[in-house]
Structure 1
Amino acid sequence: MQDFLKIYNKLFTYYGPQGWWPAETTFEMMIGAILVQNTSWRNVEKALINLKPFLKPYVIEKISVEELAELIRPSGFFNIKAKRIKSYMDWFKTYEYDIQQVKKIDRVKLRGELLSIKGIGPETADVIQLYAFDIPIFIVDAYARRIFYRLGYDMPDTYDDFRRQVEVELPRDLVLFNEYHALLVEHSKVHCKKTPICGGCPLLEVCERRL
């Protein structure tokens, strides 16, 4: 069964490579993954503009939680997110802020450590694993749930069961997983919106159109 790969190929043919994650550095990507929780990317971009002069680990380390919260105010839930970033920094510091050190960790161990950070759930942990540490992993977000449900899939309710069901059918290819998440997000913005625009949809012929 290659349905998940077929969906990927149709999306990739239609939209082309997305070149994600939208960030200038890997560190900016990690911070963006926390900032985007419960908000739109547009708001994250505003927060990142404020953060730009400070986007280095040793600089963020020295900023107080209160100062950080004010800088990321546009992202919403800024007090909570400032604490989450600080918690993440405490973890990252144990690896001397060295991405290459982190990449040497066993993937199961790494995921467990990320999930142990306060405020880092499975989706954020997997986004960081995929886009910062080059671990091929399928990201289950609201967009993936919406699209697969409308296509006719009855996916598991739990995050990891959903993730594993998709992963087992896909080749363990970093670029594929990188693009798959980005393509699902793009598709949700262009066609598979809350109120879908089915005309011209690249998945129309394989979609059961469950709303």
Structure 2
Amino acid sequence: MEFSNSYELLILLREKNLLKNSPKYWWPNVGSFEVVVGAILTQNTKWENVQKALNKWKIENGELRVEVVASFDVSYLAEIIKPVGFYNQKAKRLIALSRNILRDFGNFESFSENVDREWLLNQKGIGFETADSILCYACFREVMVVDAYTKRLLKKSGYEFESYDEMKEWCERGILENWDKIKSFYEDDLNLCFARFHGKIVEFMKK
């Protein structure tokens, strides 16, 4: 594929109808605490493994709620999320994160409205991609998530970046500069555009 900016890349990917069987925002159950959990569980593993862990969780505990996770014992949570690998480490981090959310925000609703990237990056086990996934898909912020798929796609087309934020800024800039041309496709919702753009890249690279 040939493109000179992220807007042209988005148009090329739109033509491929990659998300026809996906949820509106691509990531499942957007706007919920489940997204926060999924963003951490998916580190260094396939989404299929995350889905297994989430399904087991729901069978045993129902809806994923921050108050419930904060009360879990590490060994119990680790057993539930075993399919994702690094389960002891991820269990500790999820419990610590849940307790910090309750301590600093009171509940998930307040967290999703008020959290910022700096707070997320200060939490153990949360890096740039995880933080932006939480902001985009759990909190509906106007943030583009870039990942290993994005990096691989751009590198194949001759684009290399020195940092995560430089690649993210490149992806966002082309969309922002051409927003008037595409906003009608995305209900004038930049968050929706960024979410689906990320999803298109992932689904394209997985094929």
For 1:80, the equivalent position in structure 2 comes to 89
Q: Is 2:106 aligned against 1:96? A: yes
Cα gap change, 1:138/1:96 in structure 2, threshold over 3 Å: closer, same or farther?
Answer: same
- 1:10 alignment partner, one of 9, 12, 15: 12
Cα gap change, 1:66/1:127 in structure 2, threshold over 3 Å: closer, same or farther?
Answer: same
Cα gap change, 1:67/1:112 in structure 2, threshold over 3 Å: closer, same or farther?
Answer: same
Code of the aligned partner of 1:10: L
The percentage of counterpart residues that share the same residue type is 35
Deviation digits for residues 15-39 of structure 1, max 9, x if unmatched?
A: 2544221237611111111100000
- 1:121 alignment partner, one of 127, 131, 153: 127
For 2:191, the equivalent position in structure 1 comes to 174
Q: Scaled by the length of structure 2, what TM-score is found?
A: 0.82
Runs of 4+ residues over 6 Å off in structure 1: none
For 2:184, the equivalent position in structure 1 comes to none
Q: Scaled by the length of structure 1, what TM-score is found?
A: 0.81
Q: Distance in 2 between matches of 1:128 and 1:62?
A: 21
Q: Distance in 2 between matches of 1:182 and 1:49?
A: 22
Cα gap change, 1:102/1:24 in structure 2, threshold over 3 Å: closer, same or farther?
Answer: closer
Matches within 5 A, 1:1-211: 3-17=5-19, 18-19=22-23, 20-23=26-29, 26-52=32-58, 53-54=60-61, 55-93=64-102, 94-99=104-109, 101-105=110-114, 110-153=116-159, 155-171=160-176, 173-190=190-207
Deviation digits for residues 87-120 of structure 1, max 9, x if unmatched?
A: 2202221212232x23443xxx710000000000
Q: Distance in 2 between matches of 1:12 and 1:97?
A: 37
RMSD over equivalenced CA pairs, Å: 1.9
Compare 51-60 and 66-75 and name the one that shifted more: 51-60
Code of the aligned partner of 1:69: A
Gaps of 5+ in 1: 191-211
Gaps of 5+ in 2: 180-189
Shift of 1:12: 1.9
Deviation digits for residues 130-162 of structure 1, max 9, x if unmatched?
A: 001111212121100000111222x32211121
Shift of 1:2: 6.5
Contact 1:2 1:169 in 2 (8 A): no
Aligned residues: 185
For 1:204, the equivalent position in structure 2 comes to none
